[in-house]
Structures are given as structure tokens and as C-alpha cells.
Amino acid sequence: MSIEHTILGIISLVPCSGYDMKAEAERGSLSMLSALGFGSIYPRLKQLEEEGLVETQQVETEGRRKKIYELTADGWRELARWLEEPPGYPLPSRDDLLMKMLFWGTAGADRTALIEHLRARRDESLEVLDYLAEWQANETAFIDEYGLLVLTYIKTRLEAEISWIALATAQLEGPPELPLRDKQWLAVLQKARRSKALDQETHS
Amino acid sequence: MSIEHTILGIISLVPCSGYDMKAEAERGSLSMLSALGFGSIYPRLKQLEEEGLVETQQVETEGRRKKIYELTADGWRELARWLEEPPGYPLPSRDDLLMKMLFWGTAGADRTALIEHLRARRDESLEVLDYLAEWQANETAFIDEYGLLVLTYIKTRLEAEISWIALATAQLEGPPELPLRDKQWLAVLQKARRSKALDQETHS
DNA sequence: AGTTCCATGTAACCCGTTACATGATTAC
DNA sequence: GTAATCATGTAACGGGTTACATGGAACT
């Protein structure tokens, strides 16, 4: 659904080739919002051209031929229509780290491994922040009022994550706590179920 | 990839049927991290049983028959193995609102529509926060140390989003600002390109 | 001469979602 | 009796990712 409009949006910024679009999508804020592969781009461009939303122009630059895509009148209208259409609430974002954390208590795993996961995440997020700062400082990047707001959003989210990680690791370095609420004694049952399953096997 | 481990994780919390798993995945923090449909659950359960990671038990409760799934020794080991495996950095989360915002400047759309989008998002996020608070207050919910940390993360993220929205709407209610940096005069070119495309059509 | 980069595409595959199909039980 | 809920599945479809295929230009 969204890939189509991502493409239209990129072209609206600056007419370019399919190859350029991938590079464009990997820069700045867009890189945090989309993941475009050639396998998605080219077939979609073909389709968009058939629908009359974009048109191409063969260009020869520095001995290289490429197809530069530009929006048609219908393309501009479709982009505007999409923009004004109420955006859907984002789908649950699958996050392996959070998912693992949720189930950490049940598998009797080592707490230090979880702390390691958290630290690794923090380091990666710090790198992303660095990258964004660098990109923003880059003199050639195009940033308008809206782009800056998006950038602020992403930064805020990353910074919130990083400070949460500090909090979480601090707590996990302390002694394990019993479940805060467990009316059905699930925690106790879990241990019993797990031991039973593992023991049964060793004795067979 | 992740669906398989989500299922193993849910079973590790409490043995249940495929039907129950969907309900479980729609409760609490998990609902913010996963989206399980029956079409994904049942085939996967079948497969997991063939692989020997789970086993079933036909149960008759209150006149209803259901297949209760429980982890095998291999299942518990696979879960533990997955937990300790370093989680990947989350993929770019496609967010329609942010995406639209990025391209807002190019299509000459009305700022008030964007403000409306932001308000709608804020309202939805507030509802999610309410839901989570209610779930947490619910006496029967199982929450351990790890689950609470996850819950804190989600809340933090939503609160950060909401305060960002306040900031963004406040700015958008003011007068439009010119692009902060635009070495190639893209903003000007955009307007020209758009007018040209739209004009050409009306005159043909 | 060989590797990297620019550039465009196709085809197979995986995976998840949607829609469909079924049937029993409980609530109104 | 009829609607809603519990309960389990299958089949088709769609969409994106991965891998593959090609070719010229530029750099080393």
C-alpha cells in the first residue's frame, strides 16, 4: 500500500531514477520509515507508469542512460489525495528485543544475557542518532519545516528509548523480583511445567 | 520468523488453545508488539507440533472441546535459545502519519488537514494509554518484572509521541516557514513542476 | 584485467492476511 | 429461533524480499 505513495513522494521532492530512489530512501528521516528494495521499486514504477501517475524521460548523463521519473497531473493529484486521507494508526511494530523481554521470565534464562541485549540496542540507537545528526549537519540535505518535525520525532523516540534502557539495565543489575501480580500462580506453575518437561526427557 | 517464537512464548506463559492465543496476543503489552490472525496461528501450530516443539492434549471444558498446546522439552530449549540470541535492530516502522508529513510540503496541501491528522493520532494514542492503564489495574492480569519494564517502555514511547504532537501542532498553527536549508532550490522547483503538470492538462 | 559502482529489470519464493467453510454452544 | 461466541481449520491471494541476470562505465 504505502510503497506506492512513498515512491510518489520521493519523485515529488525531486525527479529521479529507480536507482536514485533507493538511495534517497536510505537517507535521512526516510530511512527510518521505509525499506525499499529494487525488487519493489521497478515493478511498481512500471505499474505507476501504466496507470498514468508518472512519466519517464530517457536521460543521458555522463555517458550513463537512466530513466528519470516525473509526476503527471494525475500523479500530483493522487499524492495530494493520499496526503489528506486520514492516516491509519500504525500497526503493532514487532520488536524482537521487547518480545524477548516479555517472555524472559518464563524460560529461566540468564539475566545478564538480557542486559547484554539492552546494551547492544542502546549502542545501535546511539549510532542512529549520530547518523541523523551528521545528516542534518550536511550542507546539501534538503530539510523543510515538515521534515524537521519528523526528524525531531525520530530523535525524541530514540532518546526516550535510550533513557529507558538505562533505567531497565539498572533494575536488571539488581536482584530478581517476584512477579508483581500473579493471581493464578503462573510463575510457580511455569517452573514446574518446565522442569517436568525437561526431566521427563532425561529419564527416558 | 517471529510468529513462531511469539506462539512459543505465549504457551510458555500458560498452555492454551489456538483460539486462546489470539485473545492472549490482543491483551496488554503483547497487543502493541504483535498481530496474530487465525490464519497464521493454526498452520503454524500444526507445523510446530510436527517439529516436536509443542504437544497437544484434547480437553473437554464445559462441553467444549479444544486442543491445549504445551511445550515439549525441545520447545522449552528452543525458546531459551531464541531468547539468548541477540535480537535484530527493529526494521523501519512504516508510519503513515510521519510519511505524509515528510511529503507535506511538496504537494501544496492544506496545513489544517495535517493538524487534523495529528490531533486524531493524539486521541488514538491517548486511548491506547488508557487501555494499558486499565489492563494494568485489572486484578487478573499477570505481570512480572520484565512485563512491567516492557509496559513502561510502551508508555514512555506513547507519552513522548503525545508531547511531540503538542509541539508540532503548535508550530503548524503558526505561519508556514520557508525551508531551512535548500541549496538546490528544490522547494521553488517543486512548485513550478507541479503547476506546469497541472496547467498543461487543463489546456489540452 | 578486475573490481566496484551505476542502472534496470525478472522470477521464485516466503509469509502473512483475507476470505471462506464448518459446527457446536450459549445468550437473548 | 437466531444471533453471538467458542473453536478449528483451509485456500486463495497479494505483497514484499531474495536471488538471479545483464551490461556498461569508472576506477585501480
Residue among A29, A164, A189 minimizing CB distance to B102: A29
A22 nearest nucleotide via C1' and CA: C7
Chain C, protein-covered positions (CB within 7 A): 6-12, 15-20, 24-26
Q: Which amino acid is it at A8? A: L
The sign of the dihedral angle between the CA atoms of A44, A48, A50, A51 is positive
The sign of the dihedral angle between the CA atoms of B134, B139, B143, B148 is positive
Mean pLDDT confidence for B173-201: 89
Q: What was the pLDDT predicted at A84?
A: 94
Task: Write out chain B residues lying below 8 Å of A97, CB-based.
Answer: 87, 90
For testing contact with chain A, the best of B142, B169, B201 (most A CBs within 10 A):
B142
Distances (CA, A) of B113 to A68, B101, B172, B173: 31, 11, 10, 11
d(CA A29, CA B103): 11
Q: Is the CB of A87 under 7 A from strand C?
A: no
* C1' of D19 to CA of B58 (Å): 43
Cell of B58: 484434547
Question: Is pLDDT above 80 for B165?
Answer: yes
> What's the alpha-carbon Rg for chain A, to the nearest Å?
24
Q: In a structure prediction context, what are the per-residue pLDDT tens digits for chain A, which is 204 residues long?
A: 689 999 999 999 999 999 999 999 999 999 999 989 999 999 999 999 999 999 999 998 777 889 999 999 999 999 999 999 999 999 898 899 999 999 999 887 799 999 999 999 999 999 999 999 999 998 788 999 999 999 999 999 999 999 999 999 999 999 998 878 898 899 999 999 999 999 987 776
Q: What was the pLDDT predicted at B204?
A: 61
Question: Is pLDDT above 70 for B1?
Answer: no
Q: Do A160 and B157 touch (CB under 8 A)?
A: yes
The string of DSSP letters for A73-99 reads HHHHHHHHHHHHSPPPPPPP---HHHH
Question: A68 pairs with which residues across the strands?
Answer: A57
Class of domain A3-84: mainly alpha
Q: Is the CB of A49 under 7 A from strand C?
A: no
Q: Of A81, A26, A23, A71, which is closest to residue A45 (Cα–Cα)?
A: A71
The answer to whether residues A145 and B180 touch, using CB atoms and an 8 Å cutoff, is yes
The percent of residues in chain B predicted with pLDDT above 90, rounded, is 80
* Residue B119: Cβ within 10 Å count: 12
Q: What was the pLDDT predicted at B178?
A: 80
The answer to whether residues B146 and B30 touch, using CB atoms and an 8 Å cutoff, is no
Q: Shortest Cα distance from B149 to chain A (angstroms)?
A: 7
The answer to whether A174 contacts chain B (CB < 8 Å) is: no
Q: Encode burial over A56-70: b for 16+ CB neighbours within 10 A, e otherwise.
A: beeeeeeeeebebbb
Task: Write out chain B residues lying below 8 Å of A117, CB-based.
Answer: 86-87
Q: Shortest Cα distance from A3 to chain B (angstroms)?
A: 10
> What are the tens digits of pLDDT across the range B51-66?
999 999 999 877 788 9
Q: What is the pTM of this model?
A: 0.94
Residue among B105, B121, B181 minimizing CB distance to A146: B105
Mean pLDDT confidence for B178-185: 84
Q: What was the pLDDT predicted at A1?
A: 61
* Residue A175: Cβ within 10 Å count: 7
DSSP state of B80: H
The answer to whether A96 contacts chain B (CB < 8 Å) is: yes
The percent of residues in chain B predicted with pLDDT above 70, rounded, is 98
Domain residue spans of chain A = 3-84, 96-203
Question: A55 pairs with which residues across the strands?
Answer: A70
> What are the tens digits of pLDDT across the range B103-147?
999 887 799 999 999 999 999 999 999 999 999 998 788 999 999
